[in-house]
Structures are given as C-alpha cells and as structure tokens.
C-alpha cells in the first residue's frame, strides 16, 4: 500500500489486483476436507479439492452464482492512515466490490463459453453451478476517476493482492463437487520505479487477473473431463 505521492487523490473505484500469480506453499495442506473433498495433486491452481467418484462429463451448461468479494481485514484503516486527507469510505468500498463482481462475471462468462459451455439461468441436470469468491482483497491505490487530465496522480510499485476461491456445485442437488484456491499478488514483481495508477490501468489489471483465473477454471474442467474419458 505504498504511495510515493502523499497527496494521493480521492480514493474510490477500482485498482483491484495484480498481474502475476504467486503460488502459496501448499505442502502443509490437508489431504481431505471436513466436507468430504480430496486434494487434487496436479493442478495449475495453488490448491484444489474435489469430491471422489464424481464426474464432470455430463455438465454442458454453467450457472454463474453472484460472486462475493471481501477486503483484507483492516484494509480501510491502513489505507486511510497513509492518505488521511482523502479517506476511503464504506461507499467507496462498495463501489470497488460492485465493479469487481461485474468484471469477474464478465471474464468467467467469456472463458467458459469459449470452452464450449452454454450459460444457464436456472438449474438442470446438465448445469454446473460456479460460485466465485474473492478473499483478502488488498488494493494498493484505489482511484475513483480517470486522472489523466489532472495534475495529481497516484504512484505505486505494485497493484495489490487477492485470493480466489471457486466452488463447483451440482445445480439440482446443491452438492459441493470441488473447491479451488489461487492467490495472485504483485508483491514479488514490483519494479524499481513507481508507476502512475488510474482507473483505466487498475481496471485493465483486474480484467487480466480475472481472465487468467477464468481460463484456469476452464482448463481445469477440460482436463477433468479428459481424464474421465480415458
């Protein structure tokens, strides 16, 4: 949450995430979960669990459940300590959450339809429900507007961090089939020089991160179906 400009302008709208994935150590992760899922050994995500003896081959449609997004605890307190003249409000946080939900659903829909799934608006035997959650969102430089025409700018050496949790359910029974986690952060890829942030650059970074996660999910489903067909 470092900014080289102490007069950083009115924080609000976006700045959601990052560019590169940082795979959290998973060696200590349990092999099974209390709700009956078993850890998947080979996956591009940080950690994936699935219910044993279930298959994904019969699902041809996707029901996208509204995402939930949660900020890192004390994020608002920390960011306001660094920029007390222009504090982030609860309304600002809700704007960030709303925009994040919109972008995440947009990218999931794009990647899953590209992978051959139809989007469903209700339950069905061939409908897989996908519930995404963003956890521990940490925005380094929330920016409300496009500041390209203003003198004041926000500069940071990173974008932020967050963890995606996706759960897959059978849409008719509600049974949990799989749960995956993947963390993204720009902390390990900060450049020497601070770069200006604005609404456009923050939105572009968020869109790239969400597209990467969405493609990861589509590829994971593809691999699962291929393995089942062998």
> 68 with 102: CB under 8 angstroms?
no
pLDDT tens-place string over residues 80-124: 887 787 788 899 889 889 989 999 999 999 999 999 999 999 999
Between these two residues, 17 and 204, which has the higher pLDDT value?
204
**Whole-angstrom Cα distance, residue 49 to residue 208?**
25
> 45 with 181: CB under 8 angstroms?
yes
Residue spans per domain, the chain: 38-229
State which fold the 38-229 domain adopts.
Rossmann fold (3.40.50)
Tokens 């994020």 appear where? 75
Handedness of CA 206, 196, 12, 137 (dihedral sign): positive
> What is the structure's pLDDT at 211?
93
Once rounded to an integer, what is the mean pLDDT over residues 37-63?
A: 93
Least-confidence region, from 30-44, 84-98, 125-139, 191-205 = 191-205
Handedness of CA 145, 146, 150, 154 (dihedral sign): positive
Handedness of CA 90, 76, 152, 98 (dihedral sign): negative
Q: What angle do CA 50, 212, 21 make, to 5 degrees?
A: 85
């Amino acid at each position: 949450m470092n900014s080289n400009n102490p007069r950083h302008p009115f924080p609000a709208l976006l700045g959601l995430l990052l560019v590169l994935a940082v795979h959290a150590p998973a060696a200590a992760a349990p092999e099974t979960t209390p709700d009956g899922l078993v850890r998947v050994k080979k996956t591009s995500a940080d950690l994936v669990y699935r219910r044993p003896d279930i298959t994904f081959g019969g699902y041809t449609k996707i029901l996208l459940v509204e995402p939930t997004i949660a900020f890192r605890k004390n994020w608002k307190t920390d960011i306001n300590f660094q920029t007390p003249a222009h504090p982030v409000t609860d309304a600002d946080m809700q704007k960030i959450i709303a925009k994040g939900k919109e972008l995440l659903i947009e990218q999931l829909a794009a990647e899953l339809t590209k992978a051959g799934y139809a989007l469903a608006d209700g339950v069905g035997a061939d409908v897989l429900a996908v519930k995404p959650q963003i956890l521990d969102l940490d925005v380094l430089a929330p920016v409300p507007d496009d500041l390209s025409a203003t003198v004041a700018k926000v500069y940071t050496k990173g974008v932020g961090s967050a963890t995606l949790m996706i759960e897959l359910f059978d849409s008719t029974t509600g049974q949990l089939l799989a749960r995956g986690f993947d963390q993204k952060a720009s902390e390990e890829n900060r450049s020497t020089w601070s770069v200006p942030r604005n609404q456009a650059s923050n939105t572009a970074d968020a869109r790239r991160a969400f597209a990467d996660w969405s493609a990861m999910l589509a590829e994971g489903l593809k691999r699962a179906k291929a393995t089942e067909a062998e």
